[in-house]
A and B are shown apart, each in its own frame.
Chain A
Amino acid sequence: MSLKQAFESGKFVITTEVGPLKGTDTTELAEVAEILRGRVDAANATDQQSSVMRLGSMVTCYLLQQHGLESVIQMTCRDRNRIALQSDLLSAWVMGIKNVLALTGDVPELGDHPQAKSVYDLDSVQLLGVISKLNEGTDMVGNELKGKPDFFAGAVVNPGADTEASFELQIIKMEKKIKAGAKFFQTQAVYEPEKFYKFMKRVEQFHVPVMAGIIPLKSVGMARFMNKNVAGVFVPDSLIQQMAAATDKTQTGLQITADLIKQLKDVCQGVHIMAIGWEKKVPQILDIAGL
């Protein structure tokens, strides 16, 4: 079942994320794909995540699909101008990749090549508009395509923006993304169900599926790091205490993650699990969550 069909069927959709490694060794990728196949509806392949240079998202998606896993290609505007973006989209379609997540992308300064020149020729909203155009059979300036894709495009939104201005801006931008062609959303990591309920109440009216972002908690340090550094992500004290008190941190982390999914399940259309190193544990999380 394609990701699009999964949403249309009305089932609770589960996606996860695979971060390509630095280098050409794809053994790990094959293992992860085997473990995830049949348990998730699709897996995103990240695009030079956090601006750290590694194997590309397109070939990663291709390999995932070779192993029978539906894939979502993440495409950022950081490293490609509008010519490369459109060309890569066409190439991805030819390689059998049907889903794309349009992102603006982190600045190079955050990664391992901080001196790189950043591109940002388009932003995520404009990229979604370009994908819609390609789907209609022309490039972004109106030249006709010989053979056209039919991408199922998604985007991201941050439901936990900390100030009124940031929150309202997220809603306004989400609406623009929908107008430009986004058919589903994956959110930034959620740890506070109440805040997420409030967000979902606001965006219900858009009638576009939203997948709650889930990052499994691995340690107290990780929670503190996110609280300090990641905008719109707040791990409540109660969860940090729970982690601190745990004797088996891994088990507790998985349990907390599964509990979160259970609490969010009824208000959204799916979850997107960003396991960051715990990809092989995703089935365990789903088992505990009863999915």
Chain B
Amino acid sequence: MKTITEQKPLAEILELLKDHKKIYITGCGTCATTCHTGGKAEVLAMKKELEAAGKEVTGWMVIPTSCDILTKYAIMDSIEQINKADAILAMSCGLGIQTVAAFSNKPVYPALNTLFIGWEEHPGHFIEICSQCGDCAIGITTGICPVTRCAKGMLSGPCGGAKDGKCEQKPEHDCAWVLIYNRLKELNMLDKLKEIPAPKNYSKAKIPRQVDIVQ
């Protein structure tokens, strides 16, 4: 799984931290590192920016996987520097930020916006692939998600049609339904498109969610 994140504008981060002088920074060695939003380089750059803005950075670390339970021990290892801070600035996805918050007794602020689960299509360019809707509809298309990759999340087929294979509504995206058509054609399964899918069960996407997985 790869969670795609982007850094918030520095002005917004400084506004979030306006009541705090001493800051501890956490990064993440997994998704945020591959997104170049919360790896070592970005954490060090953030440290510099905060210092330039008059803050004192009491320490920093790049937690191997911020969302993992092991984050608890990473925080315990650095507790001295963390205790010297008024607040933590977390450079990870929403899951990582909340994990850091759960195991520390300092206010935690997000440095990143958590965007989506996706692929790096080409270096530095990320596209959304799954929005975790809880009722996976990929069976309709045998491999491409219409819920997330079509701008209207349509299950029954495309809108007025794409222009040159691009989405009519969001031209920077490929039209999901053209991709789906080409895939099913290649698989010799175009008949699949004749089925009318039942309305989706969006109750499975309602927040907050929880689940018991019986082992």
Identify the A interface with B (CB < 8 A). 77-78, 82, 104-107, 109-110, 118, 120-126, 129-130, 140, 156, 158, 161-163, 165-170, 172-173, 175-176, 179-180, 188, 231-232
Identify the B interface with A (CB < 8 A). 151-165, 168-170, 175, 177-178, 181-182, 185, 190, 193-194, 196-200, 202
A109-B169, A170-B161, A231-B160 known; A165 vs B178 contact (CB < 8 Å): yes
Q: Tell me the complex Cα distance, A168–B191, Å.
A: 12
- In the complex the two chains form, is A169's CB within 8 Å of B152's CB? no
- In the complex the two chains form, is A129's CB within 8 Å of B160's CB? no
* Chain A residue with the shortest CB-CB distance to B160: A158
Q: A77 → chain B, closest Cβ, in Å?
A: 8
- In the complex the two chains form, is A188's CB within 8 Å of B160's CB? yes
Q: Which of B152, B162, B177 has the most CB of A within 10 A?
A: B152
- In the complex the two chains form, is A106's CB within 8 Å of B156's CB? no
- In the complex the two chains form, is B154's CB within 8 Å of A104's CB? yes
CB-defined A-B contacts under 8 Å, sample of 11: A109-B170, A125-B156, A126-B196, A126-B199, A156-B160, A162-B161, A170-B161, A172-B193, A231-B161, A231-B163, A231-B168
* Chain A residue with the shortest CB-CB distance to B164: A162
- In the complex the two chains form, is B169's CB within 8 Å of A110's CB? yes
Taking CB atoms, residues of chain B closer than 8 Å to A123 are 152-156
Taking CB atoms, residues of chain A closer than 8 Å to B156 are 123-126, 173, 176
* Chain A residue with the shortest CB-CB distance to B195: A176
Q: Tell me the complex Cα distance, A110–B152, Å.
A: 13
Taking CB atoms, residues of chain A closer than 8 Å to B198 are 126
Taking CB atoms, residues of chain B closer than 8 Å to A105 are 152
Taking CB atoms, residues of chain A closer than 8 Å to B177 are 169
A107-B170, A167-B161 known; 17 other A-B pairs, CB under 8 Å?
A104-B159, A121-B200, A121-B202, A123-B154, A123-B155, A124-B154, A125-B157, A125-B196, A162-B164, A163-B164, A166-B158, A166-B175, A169-B157, A176-B156, A176-B157, A176-B194, A231-B162
- In the complex the two chains form, is A120's CB within 8 Å of B196's CB? no
Q: A170 → chain B, closest Cβ, in Å?
A: 6
Q: A192 → chain B, closest Cβ, in Å?
A: 15
Q: Tell me the complex Cα distance, A232–B166, Å.
A: 12
Taking CB atoms, residues of chain B closer than 8 Å to A110 are 169
Taking CB atoms, residues of chain A closer than 8 Å to B163 are 162, 231-232
* Chain A residue with the shortest CB-CB distance to B197: A126
A121-B199, A176-B194 known; A107 vs B169 contact (CB < 8 Å): yes
- In the complex the two chains form, is A140's CB within 8 Å of B199's CB? yes
- In the complex the two chains form, is A165's CB within 8 Å of B182's CB? yes
Q: Tell me the complex Cα distance, A110–B171, Å.
A: 11
